[in-house]
């Protein structure tokens, strides 16, 4: 009986891991000057979100965007289970992978020359994220503001 439970658990973990969303969604990037809106599921937060429950404040910087971009990349590279997918002058896309099942969250940043960095953090799969995306954005905010990498 114990062996069956172990095998069942491994099969479930493999199935969930196989469904962890290895393909990025087609709506990533900047379209019409904005990051994509959050889906209807509550596993996304964004600075440009219309719903208050999904909204986070954009990051703020002073001066030219270049040094802010470098500082943000240092923050991201100092975090666990992150992979930088794209890092352009005005846009960054990073993937964060969960420790247990390998679920992937896409985190995007759009640099606005007026001193704002718009943010979107969304889970690729599932419905709830148990606040993981909001917590991640707030961690990035704190580290970015303090200059920690």
Each residue of 66-83: pLDDT tens digit? 999 999 999 999 999 999
Read off φ and ψ for residue 136, nearest 5 degrees.
Answer: -65, -45
Closest listed residue to residue 77, CA positions, set 143, 9, 3? 143
Q: Give CA–CA dist 74/72, Å, rounded.
A: 5
For the chain, percent of residues with pLDDT exceeding 70 = 85
User: pLDDT category, 21, cuts 50, 70, 90?
Assistant: low
Q: Note the pLDDT of residue 94.
A: 98
Whole-structure pTM value? 0.83
User: Between β-strands 116-123 and 44-46, what pairing exists: parallel, antiparallel or unpaired?
Assistant: antiparallel
Mean pLDDT (whole number) for 102-112: 96
Query: Which CATH superfamily hosts domain 2-146?
Result: Kinase associated domain 1, KA1 (3.30.310.80)
- Give the start-to-end residue ranges of the domains of the chain: 2-146
């Amino acid at each position: 009986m114990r062996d069956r439970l172990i095998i069942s658990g491994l099969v479930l973990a493999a199935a969930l891991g196989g469904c962890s969303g290895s393909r990025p969604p087609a709506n990533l990037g900047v379209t019409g000057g904005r990051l994509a809106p959050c889906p209807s599921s509550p596993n996304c937060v964004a600075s440009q979100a219309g719903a208050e429950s999904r909204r986070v404040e954009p990051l703020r910087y002073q001066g030219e965007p270049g040094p802010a971009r470098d500082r943000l990349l240092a923050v991201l590279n100092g975090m666990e289970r992150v992979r930088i997918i794209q890092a352009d002058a005005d846009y960054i896309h990073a993937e964060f992978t969960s420790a247990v099942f390998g679920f992937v969250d896409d985190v995007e940043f759009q640099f606005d020359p007026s001193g704002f960095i718009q943010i979107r953090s969304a889970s690729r799969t599932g419905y709830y994220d148990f606040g993981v995306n909001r917590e991640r954005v707030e961690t990035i905010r704190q580290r970015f503001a303090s200059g920690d990498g």
